[in-house]
Structure 1
Amino acid sequence: MDNFSSNSSFIIRLQGFDFPPQGAFIAFVFATLSYLIIVFCNLVLLITITMNKSLHQPMYLLLFNLPINDLIGSTALLPQLIKEILMDSRYIHVSNCITQAFFIHIYAVGSVLSLTVMSYDRYIAICSPLRYNTIMTNGHAIRMIMIVWLVDLFIIGLLFALLLRLPRCRSLIIQPYCDNPSLLTLVCADTTINNIYGLFITASMQVFGLGMILYTYLQILVACFRSKRSDTKSKALQTCATHLTVFLILEGLGLFTIISYRIKELSPHLRRMIGVSTMIFPPTLNPIIYGLRTKEIRQKIMLLFRQRVVPS
């Protein structure tokens, strides 16, 4: 038995989807197109916000953080998954497996925290519009982004520090990718501390993220119904619907993935599909929803493409 950190050449076998040859080709095309769409859409959003000084405002600075996080999550999963399908190889070095798992968890926690601070920004903008420019300055938005990443790195860093101290004596992961619960199945030692800390992270993210978002949106809805301006109501409700759609998709897929590890009777194929979907659909939908449904960004994207396609 070796610790996870003691032998980086150790090979782990991943249990994939077991596609037939024709199904493997379809899966390869789907995974490749998904990754290309994710990279393209998120980079367009990042470039649009970067190149337009009119978008250098707190709302868009917080939004800028979301595609960065989505690119981290999708890049942690999809290139390795595409390689597995293309080469029909199910093996991965333990160091690469731990790295993949680390960034997948960074993505998961970062998504919840990013959407939470974005909901706070919309809450201030709609419920206290006269104080918004005083409270939500660019400096304050940047500090919030830094706190999100520091908290994310600390929480996940400690999670993997607890994992790396443990001895491992198995080499089969029943997933097509690596994550903390899967790596714990390789351990031949007491994992009580790891399990408690993992549950603590999950509960904390749910209580803080879900609680904050529900509170802010409830306050936004109350402010909408009190407002006499129909355009204010429409814009606020659109904001709520957009953010809630993104958050509920992420929450639904994420919670199902976490719970699925504790349901032994659940089909392993369903568990794998939902786990992979968590890192495909939110990163695909986020830039589309925010880019197309946010008028200012939509206009800037259209202007950007017109300048590139039909240069003056």
Structure 2
Amino acid sequence: MENLTVRTPLKQPIVFELEGFYVPPGYGPLFFFLALLTYIVTLLGNGVVMWVIVTDKNLHRPMFVMVCNLVVCDLLGATVVLPRLMMHFLMGQKAIAYIPAIAQAFCAHSYGAAIQTILAVMAYDRYIAVCEPLRYHSIMTSARLHCCCGLAWFIAELLIFVLFSFHINVPLCGRTIQHVYCTNRSILRLSCRPTPVNNFYGLCMTWSLSTGVFLVIAFSYIKILSACLKQGRSDSSVRSKAFQTCATHLVVYLLYEIASLIIIMLYRFPSVSRDIQKFFGIFIFAFPSLANPFIYGIVTKDLRNSVKKRFAARIHHKH
């Protein structure tokens, strides 16, 4: 009788229930405060980076324009999961309607796709900057820069749009989404029938995108390393300059890939607690978005100096 009920398509309007975390009695406000603090620091850190880049004309260069795109991506990732997580901790709210669920899942996957395509474009930019320094400004013109950034977002959004177009006319029979937030996979698990086309496209898209981005970044850094070894023999400052130019990008890429690898490994071991899996599902959105502004500030000298000047000028103006 239970199986018969599960296979009965849900009637409109559909309202899902997120499984969420197990919150011990009395700990909801504490978890809410931690999530709120993480979100506020993320907004402030990314906001400062964007404000400094937009207002400082010396930073109106291709690398920092791409950093701005990465900031937008980080803000999207944090906003996808943290506000609803705070509502879950504070009020125990787990219900989510069909349209908001699809929107949240779409934005979550858009974050994952866009951050990779933007990092691929940044790798190409660093390759041109280090390997073709004399031709850099003629190659990376303003038009080409905006074309590359627009293409990165277009490819990411197109891939995700096709992924979610498969949701049309898929009858859903369950209500409980076994996660803290909605994803394509968690929603399709509630389907009344198998979804092989959806699964095949999702697998091919993920593999192709990740592999393509890795190849672009690997090619770029092999060329950069080769150029550094050749030029570094005559000028030791070349290596230092190349390091400062590329270190931020490489650290951000490795941070995202390591977080993704941890999640993939955890889901391959059923013995791992579901709450731990859910925690790292939040981790891939929250931690890179929180850490990236500090990585930019610590490693990128021009951005760090600009931030110092801006705040010093404001403090001096007040006194």
Give the TM-score range, shorter chain.
over 0.9
8 Å Cα contact 1:257/1:271 also seen in 2: yes
* Residue in 2 that maps onto 1:102: 106
8 Å Cα contact 2:117/2:213 also seen in 1: yes
Please tell me whether residue 24 in structure 1 is matched to residue 28 in structure 2. yes
Q: Return the letter of the residue paired with 1:122.
A: R
8 Å Cα contact 2:69/2:118 also seen in 1: yes
**Which residue of 179, 198, 210 corresponds with 2:183?**
179
8 Å Cα contact 2:114/2:157 also seen in 1: no
**Which residue of 161, 164, 177 corresponds with 1:160?**
164
8 Å Cα contact 1:253/1:275 also seen in 2: no
* Residue in 1 that maps onto 2:72: 68
Q: Secondary structure at the match of 1:189?
A: coil
Q: Secondary structure at the match of 1:167?
A: coil
8 Å Cα contact 2:247/2:299 also seen in 1: no
Q: CA deviation at 1:258?
A: 4.5
* Residue in 2 that maps onto 1:244: 250
Please tell me whether residue 56 in structure 1 is matched to residue 60 in structure 2. yes
* Residue in 2 that maps onto 1:13: 17
Instruction: Output the TM-score relative to the length of structure 2.
Output: 0.91
CA distance in 1, matches of 2:224, 2:291: 23
CA distance in 1, matches of 2:83, 2:106: 15
8 Å Cα contact 2:118/2:153 also seen in 1: no
Please tell me whether residue 281 in structure 1 is matched to residue 287 in structure 2. yes
CA distance in 2, matches of 1:12, 1:308: 48
8 Å Cα contact 1:224/1:237 also seen in 2: no
Q: Secondary structure at the match of 2:165?
A: helix
CA displacement 1:31-78 (0-9 Å, x = unmatched): 111110111111111111111122111111111100001111111110
8 Å Cα contact 1:115/1:247 also seen in 2: yes
* Residue in 2 that maps onto 1:119: 123
CA distance in 2, matches of 1:256, 1:296: 33
* Residue in 1 that maps onto 2:5: none
* Residue in 2 that maps onto 1:235: 241
Q: CA deviation at 1:233?
A: 0.3
CA displacement 1:236-258 (0-9 Å, x = unmatched): 13444332221111112224435
RMSD of aligned residue pairs (Cα, Å) = 1.8
Q: CA deviation at 1:142?
A: 0.5
* Count of residue pairs brought into register by the alignment: 309
8 Å Cα contact 1:221/1:237 also seen in 2: no
Q: Return the letter of the residue paired with 2:159.
A: I
Q: CA deviation at 1:98?
A: 1.1
Please tell me whether residue 222 in structure 1 is matched to residue 211 in structure 2. no
**Which residue of 255, 262, 273 corresponds with 1:267?**
273
Instruction: Output the TM-score relative to the length of structure 1.
Output: 0.93
CA distance in 2, matches of 1:133, 1:29: 47
**Which residue of 149, 155, 162 corresponds with 1:151?**
155
CA distance in 2, matches of 1:165, 1:44: 44
Q: Return the letter of the residue paired with 2:301.
A: K
List alignment gaps of at least 5 residues for structure 2.
1-7
* Residue in 1 that maps onto 2:4: none
8 Å Cα contact 2:248/2:300 also seen in 1: no
* Residue in 2 that maps onto 1:301: 307
Q: Secondary structure at the match of 2:102?
A: helix
CA distance in 1, matches of 2:314, 2:205: 45
Please tell me whether residue 253 in structure 1 is matched to residue 259 in structure 2. yes
The verdict on how the C-alpha distance between 1:108 and 1:99 changes in structure 2, with shifts beyond 3 A counting, is same
8 Å Cα contact 2:38/2:286 also seen in 1: yes
List alignment gaps of at least 5 residues for structure 1.
none
8 Å Cα contact 2:130/2:227 also seen in 1: yes
CA distance in 2, matches of 1:26, 1:116: 38
Q: CA deviation at 1:260?
A: 4.6
CA distance in 1, matches of 2:169, 2:288: 33
